[in-house]
Amino acid sequence: MKKLAVISSGTKGIGRATVEKFHKEGFDVATCSRNMKDLLALKKELEGKNGVGSIYVKVADMSDSKQLTDFADFVKDLNQPVDVLVNNTGVFLPGAVHEEEEGSLEKMIETNLYSAYYLTRAFINDMKERREGHVFTTGSIAGIQAYANGGSYSISKFALHGFTKALRAEMMDFGVRVTSLLAGATYTASWEGVELPEDRFMKASDIADAIYSANALSKHTVVEEILLRPQLGDI
């Protein structure tokens, strides 16, 4: 049986690059997004390209608790233990705390924090019982360093970082590794329209390589935090 990686929101940006990396390395991958067309295109491309492993896809809006539960049940029905869980779902809405639109905090907490919290809870007990597995959260530099106009996005990412630290402490004695990914500006759809050259950003594939490399270490070692910034500094 192949190892299984579960990567939420895997059709674009860092999520897609991470799906591609793990599948290329021989993993089966289960992923989701809100668009079935994108999911089916991903499945067709990767299963045809790599010729190894399977891509399992399901439509799910991970900010919606019912759809998140449905996705988790879909993965459990595969009857494969989850070896790697990458909580990648996220949304960015710029704005200052005192000026941003009503509901911004709720939307970003539901998407950036609750999606990771509840998806992790769906699989963590099985990892704990097996005494193996690796949980990643896709955080942000904004989760350790506040900045003007970061608003509720920064709040949600600070909370996500705190969640990851708590989970790491809880899983330490059970052989389950937990890693917080703290990435700066990465060239994804979120930055479309910005008047900066592409080479000013990090590559999504570099983030995926960092995640894979951290997981590839022996079970005796855990990378607790991966802090990545563009070579020329934050944007």
Residue 198 has pLDDT above 90, yes or no: no
Collapsing DSSP to helix, strand or coil, 138 comes out as strand
Give the mean pLDDT of 28-44: 97
For residue 93, the one-letter residue type is L
51 pLDDT exceeds 70? no
Q: What single DSSP character describes residue 186?
A: B
pLDDT tens per residue, range 127-175 = 999 999 999 999 999 899 988 888 999 999 999 999 999 999 999 999 9
- Among 217, 209, 204, 178, which residue's Cα sits nearest to residue 22? 209
Q: What does the CA dihedral 58, 93, 119, 203 come to, rounded to 10 degrees?
A: 70
Query: What phi-psi label fits residue 154: left (phi over 0), alpha (psi between -120 and 50 degrees) or beta?
Result: alpha
Q: How many Cβ atoms are within 10 Å of 78's Cβ, its own excluded?
A: 14
Segment among 31-45, 182-196, 197-211 with least mean pLDDT: 182-196
Is residue 202 helix, strand or coil? strand
The tens digit of pLDDT for each residue in 52-107 reads 789 999 999 999 999 999 999 999 999 999 999 999 999 987 888 898 889 999 99
According to the model, what pLDDT value does residue 49 have? 82
Q: What's the N-to-C CA distance of the chain in angstroms?
A: 43
Number of other residues whose CB lies within 10 A of the CB of residue 68: 23
Alpha helices in the chain, H assignment, sequence order: 13-24, 36-50, 65-76, 104-108, 115-130, 151-171, 204-216
Q: Which two tokens stand for residue 58?
A: 């399901």
Residue 233 has pLDDT above 80, yes or no: yes
Question: Which amino acid, residue 54?
Answer: S
pLDDT digits over 95-137, tens only?
888 988 899 999 999 999 999 999 999 999 999 999 999 999 9
List, in order of start, the domains of the chain with CATH numbers: 4-228 (3.40.50.720)
Encoded tokens for 217:
């270490």
Inform me whether the pLDDT recorded for 185 exceeds 90.
no
Residue 42 clears pLDDT 70, i.e. is over it: yes
CB 113 within 8 A of CB 163: yes
What is the pLDDT, as a whole number, of residue 136? 98
Report pTM. Answer: 0.95
Long-range contacts from 187-193, C-beta under 8 angstroms, 24+ separation: 188/12, 188/13, 188/14, 189/12, 189/13, 190/13, 190/92
> Residue 200: pLDDT above 80?
yes
